[in-house]
Structure 1
């Protein structure tokens, strides 16, 4: 028989589960359109060179879309590889039962990390000669042959051995008894810019490095260099794999690339109105009173704020959709709430859904609009929506 403390715990947990399940759309949430996600994968595959496979980048919790569900959807739709940034992200996918090959884009430098890579059947990126030696030694102790991907720095100046110094690095990996080179790859720094000069220079460096490896008798494995922007730029950059992140989520890496393929946004951000009040003229709204009413003004309070990923710098700039009609956000955005001027919406009421990112009727609000207002990039906006916003998979 349960004692009082055990019974209290069980009841509290049951109530907590009930409250969460009932409240999932009561404050604020993110909706993920998996049909749009699958359609984007198919559309992108349709523009790839015939020999090219699609690697879906699902790092950073699939850019805030939910890595496990996204991975399942993109693999069903035709992606054959996944890419993540950290070991923890890879382990999460493996624990969820995902068996597709997973490339770890980040660098790993300890025996403990290598042991985890081997245990979870992940495929690491090697960037230096020191890594080659450590991976080979550790793999020998484990009694395994590890598939590895070699990164060449052609101008990003981030991870990888510089292209003109890469021959000893790649030769050592080829000679290592316990390593199998699964691919050689690089990464573009400016593929989303209209001027292709730097992209072309990086591509030439990549080609020169590969030719140098061939001249020294090194078998050439799979090659890949294209991110979303480069994939849309030219099929000449597709090689054996393309690594597509942003575009699978329905966002174009640059306006001039939008004509290459038709994509649909996957993510929408919504919240509910929690209170409505009418304020007299010359009344300050929110912290600092950076907005004051000039006439009687109907204010709606909405249950979402900067702790959820709505940047405070959008204060007094943000617009949202309420019942298909645009409404301006006024006053400073606070941690958990924003305020709207809904004077022009006579039928608005507590409980109405507010769309911050997404579409209603013929109107649409996009992450690109937020990014442009803030002078940042869409990637940052997508990754900023915090996990206290439940993900609703449609």
Structure 2
């Protein structure tokens, strides 16, 4: 890698080789099913365009999933040729653009289905789309009971084509019983279409956790998000450690201060030194995505040692107690997420410090943090 000038002295390194390797592993697990990399939310903070390009060019990925039209356009404008499915929010007024740019919408309501059908009929163009069914997530989707009406709409409109049927698991990897219930409901939807003589197209249900735990959930395609980036969707999955974390978050020491006992540190003075201490100020803060709740709870790695974050996290800075790490000095590398000298902080561990999930940690790393590949 060529030398990089870090203007803010906090950055993320993204290992595209690791993402390609994870894709290959997930493809083996999926067997005959396709893998649809989920690159919404800027590929979970890893960079949607570089990730999609690496997977399309090096792993021959032929389909991607995003959240919205703007994310889809970003990929197409960057030269991504693969099929792109829009998981949420498509409307009939977008039909011309969806068709022109070869985007496949996932429709979650009868209203949008009817309106898209009317627009396709008005334009006299054949338009393909996927349907999403709510089988237990209680978030988005047609109800199981609406499958019959959806089928009627397709039968009566020659300009609409069902090219896929999907659902989303709520507790895959946590509850096999609830996952089985969702699968039972989903299969009843598929049966409704088939009994009506309607081809379901590509059937996709599995997320990362379901792909790794439920063979019967793989169908034609699995939508893999968090596992693609090397993060276990549940702590007990991937026990052999095959998945490779792809993102490392790094910062640097700006200054080291020698403080006497009894000195308050940072806003509010919530942390007070209990002994003569060396406190390092590090160039990262909540404006970069390093959460304010990590003050007094988080740790960083400097010179191969885990050291506590003390005092309140500021907008641009954090403080770490380096008293027990002799030699720490200005310019030293600080690992926020990553591994050095056998010592590691994972996104999952950081999430545990504030009772959240690694998805949120990765997606919260802000645009002020440049990604280097």
Alpha-carbon shift at residue 34 of structure 1 (Å): 0.6
Deviation at 1:150, TM superposition (A): 0.8
Q: Distance in 2 between matches of 1:171 and 1:82?
A: 29
Label 1:345 to 1:260 Cα distance change in 2 as closer, same or farther (>3 A). closer
Deviation of 1:137 (Å): 2.6
Which of the residues 300, 317, 328 maps onto 2:280?
A: 300
Count of residue correspondences: 370
**Which one of 56, 66, 87 corresponds to residue 69 of structure 2?**
87
- Structure 1 Cα separation of the partners of residues 324 and 134 of structure 2: 55
| Mapping 1:70-81, distance limit 5 Å | 70-75=51-56, 76-81=58-63
Taking a change above 3 Å as real, the CA distance of residues 221 and 316 of structure 1, as seen in their structure-2 partners, is: same
Alignment correspondent of 1:223: 203
3-state secondary structure, aligned to 1:208? helix
For residue 261 of structure 1, report the CA deviation from its aligned partner.
6.7
- Alpha carbons of 1:362 and 1:42: their partners in 2 closer, same or farther (altered >3 Å)? same
Q: Per-residue deviation at 1:325?
A: 1.3
Contact 1:174 1:180 in 2 (8 A): no
Q: 1:45 aligns with which of 17, 27, 31?
A: 27
Q: How does 1:102-251 map to 2 (within 5 A)?
A: 102-111=84-93, 113-193=94-174, 195-251=175-231
Mapped to 1, the partners of 2:97 and 2:264 lie a distance apart of 56
Q: Show structure 2 runs of 5+ residues with no match.
A: none
Once the 2 structures are TM-superposed, how far is the Cα of residue 26 of structure 1 from its aligned partner? 5.2
Q: Runs in 1 of length 4+ with deviation above 6 angstroms? A: none
Greater CA drift, 100-109 or 139-148:
139-148
Task: Single out whichever of 250-259 and 349-358 deviates more from structure 2.
Answer: 250-259
Give the Cα–Cα distance (whole angstroms) in 2 for the partners of residues 260 and 242 of structure 1.
21
Deviates more, 1:167-176 or 1:322-331: 167-176
Q: TM-score if structure 1 supplies the norm length? A: 0.90
Whether the aligned pair in 2 keeps the contact of 1:82 and 1:103 (CA below 8 Å) is yes
Indicate the SS of the match to 2:37: strand
**Native 8 Å contact 1:67 1:93 kept in 2:** yes
Give the distance between the partners of 1:125 and 1:132, measured in 2 at CA. Answer: 10
Aligned to 1:313, the other structure's residue is in SS state helix
3-state SS of paired residue (1:41) = helix
Q: Which digits, 9 at most, give the CA deviation of each residue in 1:38-96, with x for residues without a partner? A: 1100111111132x000000000000100000111222224321000010000000000
Structure 1: runs of 5 or more not aligned: 1-20
What RMSD in Å do the two structures reach over aligned CA positions?
Answer: 1.6
Normalised to the residue count of structure 2, the TM-score between the two structures is 0.95
Secondary structure of 1:329's counterpart equals: strand
Pair 1:285 & 2:265 matched:
yes
Alpha-carbon offset, residue 326 of structure 1: 1.2
